[in-house]
């Protein structure tokens, strides 16, 4: 059970339901290469349920006895309006209400086994606490989705660093593709993929997750 609600950086609650998280895999070439994955011909999508979202400031709890838990730092995009069917660039921009750094947690050993068998990834990706979300920075402050940086440090060491301009499927194009295939609703989050540098988390790890230039957040693995 989650008690997560979408919030702005100043703590103000957003009047939006808790929707789904639509994730894209292999959206940065260097990350696809580090896991020996080919780049897909179209966005590789999967969905995390809203029930797995936890707020970053409460600290992370990683499952025990299910193998390695990897962090994937990602730029999260929050929708304030629905999008469906063929939508224009400006409709997409108007529907975005905020951006936040997030962690797409992944049970890597479980995922490797699922991938080998050609099975869906939910057991590795949808567990309780599997999506860790910082508060949102208003889209009024971040006007250019094609130039947003993301970084993650673990125990003071910079592990991941990327920018949305390096994405294989840039944010607006990605969202247009998704809306053409299924409905996006107000309160849904798009998780736009992770740059290279993913790795395992351990109890006690101290994390610093940032959209550099806008906000940085501290957290810890409990
Ligand atoms: Zn991811």
Q: Work out the number of other CB atoms within 10 angstroms of the CB of residue 91.
A: 15
Question: How many whole angstroms separate alpha carbon 164 and alpha carbon 217?
Answer: 19
Residue 34 pLDDT? 83
Q: Which residues contact 79 (CB under 8 A, 6 or more apart)?
A: 19, 95, 96, 97, 184, 185, 186, 187, 188, 189, 190
Cα of 10 from ligand 1 centre, angstroms: 26
Cα of 143 from ligand 1 centre, angstroms: 23
The per-residue pLDDT string of the chain (222 residues; one tens digit each, 9 = 90 and over) reads 568 999 999 999 999 999 999 999 989 988 778 888 887 789 999 999 999 999 999 999 999 999 999 999 999 999 999 999 999 999 999 999 999 999 999 999 999 999 999 999 999 999 999 999 999 999 999 989 999 999 999 999 999 999 999 999 999 999 999 999 999 999 999 999 999 999 999 999 999 999 999 999 999 999
Cα of 107 from ligand 1 centre, angstroms: 11
Residue 1 pLDDT? 53
Cα of 35 from ligand 1 centre, angstroms: 12
Residue 76 pLDDT? 98
Question: What pTM did the predictor assign?
Answer: 0.95
């Amino acid at each position: 059970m989650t008690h997560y609600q979408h919030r702005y950086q100043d703590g103000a609650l957003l009047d939006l339901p808790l929707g789904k998280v639509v994730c894209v895999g292999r959206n940065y070439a260097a990350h696809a290469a580090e896991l020996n994955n080919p780049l897909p011909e179209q966005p590789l999508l999967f969905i995390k349920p809203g029930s797995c979202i936890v707020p970053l400031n409460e600290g992370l709890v990683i499952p025990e006895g299910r193998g390695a838990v990897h962090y994937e730092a990602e730029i999260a995009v929050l929708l304030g309006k629905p999008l469906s069917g063929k939508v224009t660039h400006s409709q997409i921009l108007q529907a975005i209400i905020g951006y936040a750094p997030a962690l797409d947690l992944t049970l890597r050993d479980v995922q490797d086994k699922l991938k080998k068998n050609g099975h869906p990834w939910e057991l590795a990706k949808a567990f309780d606490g599997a999506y860790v979300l910082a508060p949102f920075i208003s889209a009024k402050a971040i006007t250019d989705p094609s130039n947003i940086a993301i970084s993650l440090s673990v125990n003071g060491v910079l592990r991941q660093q990327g920018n949305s301009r390096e994405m294989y499927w840039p944010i607006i194009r990605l969202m247009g593709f998704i809306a053409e295939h299924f409905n996006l609703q107000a309160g849904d989050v798009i998780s736009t993929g992770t740059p290279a540098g993913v790795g395992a988390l351990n109890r006690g790890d101290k994390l610093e997750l940032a959209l550099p230039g806008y906000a940085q957040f501290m957290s810890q693995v409990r």
